């Protein structure tokens, strides 16, 4: 099947496998609106979506809008989100960005990468998730898991998530990015984990998987 298949052809086949397995692409983080999605994505940094979904009901019961969030002390936010990790940093970011949304955007979540990335605690990956999942703007959020799978499948040899994002955007049609990045996440969890992975029974690695092991660069994990 693999032979001398070109990278574009391989990418198209992988995309078809993923679409067949996951025709629906629900957003894995529970949220009520653009603002609660932004907060949930921020909390998901170095934390599983499942853990975030366990924490956000308590947080959003107390504060589900920027105005309500700034009414809480950062220390109170920190106590609620502690299970997500990095709680001192994340609580300050949540409180700070909520104040900025009130001061600068009348409480609304801005709809540009530049404005989102200027908010405390919001990097390019978080902004990409919000732009794609809240506003439907084509984006390809690449976390360490997608980075690992793209390398494993020979779609990218990027040494960091930024290069992998560029490689994937070149390989896949722009109108497929939003669904595709979620399909890769779903597939990784079910079929292609970082540890205990058997490539012989993986629907994609059995066809295209590299034989050598993935080695995260510098501080990258997963």
* Of the residues 82, 111, 133, the one at which a domain ends: 133
Domain residues for the domain of 106 are 34-133
Q: Are residues 53 and 74 in the same domain?
A: yes
Tokens 């603002």 correspond to 35
Q: Are residues 186 and 201 in the same domain?
A: yes
Please state the rounded mean pLDDT for residues 148-164: 94
Rounded Cα–Cα distance for residues 120 and 42 (Å): 10
Please state the rounded mean pLDDT for residues 72-80: 98
* Catalytic positions: 125, 143
What are the structure tokens assigned to 54, written together?
């366990």
Residue 215 lies in a domain: no
CATH of the domain at 108: 1.10.340.30
Residue 73 lies in a domain: yes
Q: Are residues 123 and 185 in the same domain?
A: no
Q: How confident is the model at residue 216 (pLDDT cuts 50, 70, 90)?
A: low
Q: Are residues 49 and 92 in the same domain?
A: yes
Q: Are residues 199 and 116 in the same domain?
A: no
Residue 213 is predicted with a pLDDT of: 60
Q: Are residues 40 and 12 in the same domain?
A: no
Q: Which residues contact 48 (CB under 8 A, 6 or more apart)?
A: none
Residue 120 lies in a domain: yes
- Looking at the 3D structure of the chain, how many domains does it have? 2
Is residue 138 within 8 A of residue 172, CB to CB? The reply is no
pLDDT one-digit tens code per residue, 21-64: 999 999 999 999 999 999 999 999 999 999 999 999 999 999 99
Residue 220 lies in a domain: no
Residue 213 lies in a domain: no
Rounded Cα–Cα distance for residues 144 and 105 (Å): 31
φ/ψ of 6, rounded to 5, equals -75, 160
Q: Which of 91-105, 156-170, 174-188, 202-216 has the lowest mean pLDDT?
A: 202-216
């Amino acid at each position: 099947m693999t032979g001398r298949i070109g990278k574009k052809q391989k990418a198209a086949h992988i995309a078809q496998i993923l679409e067949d397995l996951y025709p629906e692409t629900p957003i894995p983080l529970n949220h009520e609106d653009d603002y609660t999605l932004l907060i949930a994505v921020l909390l998901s940094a170095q934390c599983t979506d499942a853990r975030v979904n366990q924490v956000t009901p308590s947080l959003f019961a107390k504060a589900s809008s920027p105005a309500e969030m700034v009414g809480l002390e950062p220390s109170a936010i920190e106590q609620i989100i502690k299970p997500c990790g990095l709680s001192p940093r994340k609580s300050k970011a949540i409180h700070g960005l909520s104040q900025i949304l009130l001061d600068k955007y009348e409480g609304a979540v801005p709809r540009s990468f530049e404005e989102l990335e200027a908010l405390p605690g919001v990097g390019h990956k978080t902004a990409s998730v919000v732009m794609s999942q809240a506003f439907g703007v084509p984006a390809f959020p690449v976390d360490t898991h997608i980075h690992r799978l793209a390398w494993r499948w020979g779609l990218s040899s990027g040494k960091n998530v930024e290069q992998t994002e560029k490689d994937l955007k070149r390989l896949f049609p722009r109108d497929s990015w939003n669904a595709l990045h979620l399909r890769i996440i779903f597939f990784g969890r079910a079929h292609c984990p970082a540890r205990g992975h058997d490539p012989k029974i993986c629907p994609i690695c059995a066809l295209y998987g590299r034989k050598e092991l993935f080695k995260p660069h510098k501080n990258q994990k997963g």
